[in-house]
């Protein structure tokens, strides 16, 4: 029964952009809890330890976050550390939704009470077809009536904003500004690696970055060739082949911090030092192999990424005076 109810809930409340909103809700659940600089309430200092955050006078409680997490994870078991992290992430998701909804309300884009009531009445009608009461539905989906109203208002409002924002013109422009992220472009890269453990002291990190910057300057001034510098200084197995890693895409196989930097480089350009779990790298873009895909070919991915970035931008811009 729970599976059926969850499917029904998704269908009723994410019409027209079901796939996109499914992605967004999943994405919000994975976002970093401190992604926008928000600091959560210290429960040890709080007079009411069940209050995890306050947004524009609206409190977010531990019980509310726990219920939201239950809807996301179901019966999945978590370790103590995993649960702590999941609670932080879910708290941040709810904070972001409240902040963004306040932003939309100020611009006349938020759903009004009659729109929310209409959607909930539709849900109640659907529930009757499977002989499930509204109270049972709330219990099955781990939420209160007020929480359902808020999530309904959020989804209607955010869809309205995206419908207005994600026009063909916007998506095409967004694609043109960052083609390499979406059109399957490949780049041929080489690197120089100086190994460093993840718990190395800051002074050691600074020394290695300074050393790599000096080597980079030597290469750019043509005091030494790239191949020679790599052979003399790199600690990677590729040191004898000019540091070549071959062709990579934005999706791998290198770590994101490496790949994201590499895809910003022009052909034959050398990056500043980049940190990964292996240590510090200098990255060289040796060649670019463009894709023939256009923006319409990757529209779904464009919508997903643009939606995420729009939410991040709204929260960053609007949150400072709305959260405690």
3-state DSSP of 182-213: HCCCEEEEEEEEEECCCCCCHHHHHHHHHHHH
Q: What is the pLDDT of residue 251?
A: 82
For residues 161 and 91, what is the distance between their CA atoms, to the nearest angstrom?
Answer: 23
Mean pLDDT for the stretch of residues 218-231: 96
Candidates 25, 17, 162; CA nearest to 90 is 25
Residue 115 has pLDDT above 80, yes or no: yes
Q: To 5 degrees, how large is the angle CA 23–CA 184–CA 239?
A: 115
For 28, residues 6+ apart whose C-beta sits below 8 A from its C-beta are 93, 96, 97, 311
For residues 246 and 172, what is the distance between their CA atoms, to the nearest angstrom?
Answer: 30
Q: Which residues pair with 287 in a beta bridge?
A: 188
Q: What is the pLDDT of residue 67?
A: 94
Full-model pTM: 0.67
Domains, the chain: 2-176+301-318 (1.10.4030), 186-289 (3.10.50.40)
Candidates 246, 250, 215; CA nearest to 233 is 215
Mean pLDDT for the stretch of residues 266-276: 95
For residues 177 and 186, what is the distance between their CA atoms, to the nearest angstrom?
Answer: 17
What is the H or E stretch that residue 276 is in?
strand 274-276
Lowest mean pLDDT among 80-84, 284-288, 290-294, 303-307: 290-294
């Amino acid at each position: 029964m729970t599976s059926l109810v969850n499917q029904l809930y998704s269908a009723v409340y994410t019409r027209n952009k079901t796939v996109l909103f499914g992605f967004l809700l999943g994405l919000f659940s994975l976002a970093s809890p401190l992604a926008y600089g928000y600091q959560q309430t210290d429960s040890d200092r709080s007079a009411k330890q069940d209050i995890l955050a306050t947004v524009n006078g609206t409190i977010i409680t531990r019980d509310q976050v726990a219920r939201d997490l239950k809807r996301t994870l179901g019966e999945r078991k978590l370790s103590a550390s995993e649960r702590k992290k999941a609670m932080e992430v879910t708290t941040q998701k709810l904070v972001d939704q409240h902040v963004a909804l306040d932003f939309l309300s100020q611009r006349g884009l938020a759903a009004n009470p009659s729109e929310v009531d209409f959607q909930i009445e539709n849900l109640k009608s659907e529930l009757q077809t499977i002989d499930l009461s509204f109270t049972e539905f709330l219990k099955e989906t781990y939420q209160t009536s007020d929480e359902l109203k808020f999530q309904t208002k959020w989804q209607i409002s955010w869809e309205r904003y995206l419908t207005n924002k994600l026009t063909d013109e916007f998506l095409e422009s967004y694609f043109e500004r960052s083609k390499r992220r979406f059109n399957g472009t490949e780049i041929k890269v080489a690197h120089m690696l100086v190994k460093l453990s993840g718990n190395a002291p800051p002074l050691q990190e600074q020394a290695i970055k300074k050393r790599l910057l000096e080597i980079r300057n030597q290469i750019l001034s043509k005091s030494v060739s790239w191949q020679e510098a790599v052979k003399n200084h790199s600690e990677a197995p590729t040191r004898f082949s000019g540091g070549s890693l071959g062709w990579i895409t934005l999706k791998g196989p290198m770590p994101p911090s490496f790949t994201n930097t590499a895809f910003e480089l022009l052909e034959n350009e050398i990056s500043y030092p980049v940190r990964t779990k292996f240590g510090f790298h200098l990255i060289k873009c040796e060649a670019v192999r463009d894709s023939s895909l256009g923006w319409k070919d990757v529209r779904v991915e464009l919508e997903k990424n643009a939606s995420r970035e729009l939410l991040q931008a709204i929260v960053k811009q609007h949150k400072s005076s709305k959260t405690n």
